[in-house]
Structure formats: C-alpha cells, structure tokens
Structure 1
Amino acid sequence: MEQESTLDATVRKRIRSLRKGRGWSLDNLAERAGISPSQLSRIETGHRRLSLDQLTSIAAALGKSLDELVESPDDSDVVIRPDRDERRGLTTWLLTKGNGPHDLTVGKMRISDQAGGVTPDDLGVHPGRDWFTVLSGTVVLYLGERVIRVEAGQAASFSTMTPHAIRCDRGPAEILIILDHNGERSHLHT
C-alpha cells in the first residue's frame, strides 16, 4: 500500500512538473486533456483519485505514453549493474536498454582475459560491424591473421565477417563498444 501511495505521489508530481516545464497553466493542460481545470488541480494536489481514463488523456496531452507517466520510481532505470562472465573474462555494463538508436547496443566492457593462446576456435564471425574505443589499458584485436594493438584513446571499426576476438594485454582493459544486433547476440549472449 505504501508503494502504491509513493507511485501515486510520483505520478502527480510528474504531471505537474511536465505541465510547468511546458509553461502551461492548469487551464492549458486541462483543455488539451479534455478535463476541467478543477479536476486537474485536484489530481495534481492529491485531492482526487487517479483514474486510468484521465491519466491516459493527460499523458496524451503531455505527449507521453502512459508507461512513461506511471513508471515505478525505483532505481532500476538509473543504476546500471554489471553482468560478469568469469569464463570469458568479461564484465559488461549495457548503456542502452533494449534496442538503441538504429538497432545498436552500446556497452562498456572490462576485459580481463589476457592476450595469448588465442586459437582459431576462439575467433568468431557474424554479419555486421563492431566499433569500440579503448578507455583504459591496451586491447589486442585478433582480426583474421592480423594481430592489432589498440591503446587507450584509440578506436577500432571492422567487418565482423572477418574472424575476430578481443583480449586485453598486460592487465585489464576497458572499452566502450557499439554493436549491431548480430554483434550483440554474438558478444553478449554466448
């Protein structure tokens, strides 16, 4: 019950904040939402119960989805928690949830799997392109027969139809990586 009242108060604050952020009076938003200004005032101040039909109208008038208006105020949309893969020596923080712009996924990776001993079986192939920039440390990019060192401040972009693998060199490295759909499936869900 307390969570419900917290969510209720959050929704009311969002409505008021969005209205004020647009420079709208109670009358402006009420007219756009098809409700009376007094109803809107009572909704914002907590003197009227929130109803689904009114919330739907208010959300549409504000140019928001109902989900955006009533999303839970917990920290899951703010705090990005790492996903550790000990077997592969990777820790990944997904910076985009779901599909990012143009179906791309952006993530930060900490690579602790050392270079050396990479066999042809370690090299993966998938349609598309991968892009990354090295934030710290040095990365060794195995690209077909080539072995390329990419240092902090440098970036790499390559066709993923070439067999490839990424390892760190002499200590952990961190990269910011942009993957297309195929790259996300190959690198993050194996």
Structure 2
Amino acid sequence: MTQDAEVDALVRARIRGLRIAKGWSLDELAARCYLSPSTLSRIETGHRRIGLDQLTAIARALGASLDQLVETANDDVVIKPHHHPERGITTWMLSGDHEHAGLTVARVRVTRPASRRPEDLRVHPGRDWFTVLSGTVELVLGDRLVIVETGEAASFSTMTPHSFGARGGPAEVIAVLTPDGERTHVHS
C-alpha cells in the first residue's frame, strides 16, 4: 500500500470512528455536514474520493481539525527516558509537540534535593502543576520550602522564583508544564 493510500485509509477510518464514538448514524452526520448519507457512506468505505470541501465540512461536523483527521500515526509507542545526570533528573515526555493546548505532560524522576541558591531558582511566565507518584518532593518557592508527599499535588505561579527536588531519596512526579516551563525545567 502506498503512503497516500495509507493516509486515505486512515482518514476514512477516523471519520467512521469519530462518527461512531459520537453515537451518530450516517444520516445524522450527513445532515450535520450537508452531504447525502449515500455520499458519506461511499466516503467512509473508500468508494468515493474525498474532496477538500467535503473533508472540511466533515471535520467541522465531527468537532475535529483537518490536521487531526490527516496526521499520520506516530510509531513511537514506547516512550524512552532522557537522562540528565548533571541535573539529577530523568524525563519521559508523555505528550508530543504541545498537542494539549500548548501544555507538555512529562513524567520526571528527581534524585537531587531542591536548590535554595538564588542563582538556581527559576522564573518564567505561567503556572506549573505536578503530582507526586512516589517519594517526597521539596518545592522551593522564593523563601518558602513546601514539602509535597506521595499522592499530593502542587500548583503554583512560576513568576515566583522556584526549584524542586527530591527529599530523602528519589521521587517521581507527573508534571504539566507550559512551553516556558518545559524549556526551563526539561530542556535547560
């Protein structure tokens, strides 16, 4: 199968899958995108080429973007860790290319304590959120030291000078970061 044929089949499967997930019949989706049910059926089954105007109307009716309908599948199913031994962290990027409204979701394993040195405290626009999966995290917020235990979460303004690290052994968190937070904490 050629790449074009693979993308075509993927788009058709996504249209059908989204329609079924919404619980809509062919008639219901056809009415929402101003196509006849038979045209929509032939599009889904591959018996009719999809015109850009039809694809746009179908995407709009399904609440999807054209990009979502036509993007090729990412074959990276297994997420490999990125080790940063000099910083005492290992990261697993769980969301790719800011796919969640500009936010990045990452699993982070921290082995070093939080730094309280003023030159190590970071400031960037936005908010950071994390939940502790295991261990204990020290969160330095300006002059404050906040202890976040397993099962607890933290949310804070990143305009406050901050750092975080492990307390009493390694800790793992799931973090939700803005693009500035990702650059500061993951890629710095």
Task: Tell me what 2:63 maps to.
Answer: 63
Secondary structure of the 1:176 match is strand
Give me the identity figure in percent.
58
Secondary structure of the 1:4 match is helix
Task: Tell me what 1:89 maps to.
Answer: 88
- 1:20-60 Cα deviation digits (max 9, x unpaired): 34444434433433333333222222222233222222222
Q: Closer, same or farther in 2 for the Cα pair 1:93/1:19, shift >3 Å?
A: same
Task: Tell me what 1:10 maps to.
Answer: 10
Which structure is larger by alpha-carbon Rg, 1 or 2? 1
Secondary structure of the 1:64 match is coil
Q: Closer, same or farther in 2 for the Cα pair 1:109/1:44, shift >3 Å?
A: same
How many residue pairs match? The answer is: 187
Contact 2:113 2:166 in 1 (8 A): yes
Contact 1:127 1:182 in 2 (8 A): yes
CA RMSD of aligned residues (A): 3.3
TM-score normalised according to structure 2 size: 0.73
Secondary structure of the 1:47 match is coil
TM-score normalised according to structure 1 size: 0.73
Q: How does 1:151-162 map to 2 (within 5 A)?
A: 151-162=149-160
Task: Please point out which of 122, 125, 144 is paired with 2:123.
Answer: 125
Task: In structure 1, list runs of 5 or more residues that go unmatched.
Answer: none
Letter in 2 for 1:92: T
Letter in 1 for 2:120: D
Task: In structure 2, list runs of 5 or more residues that go unmatched.
Answer: none
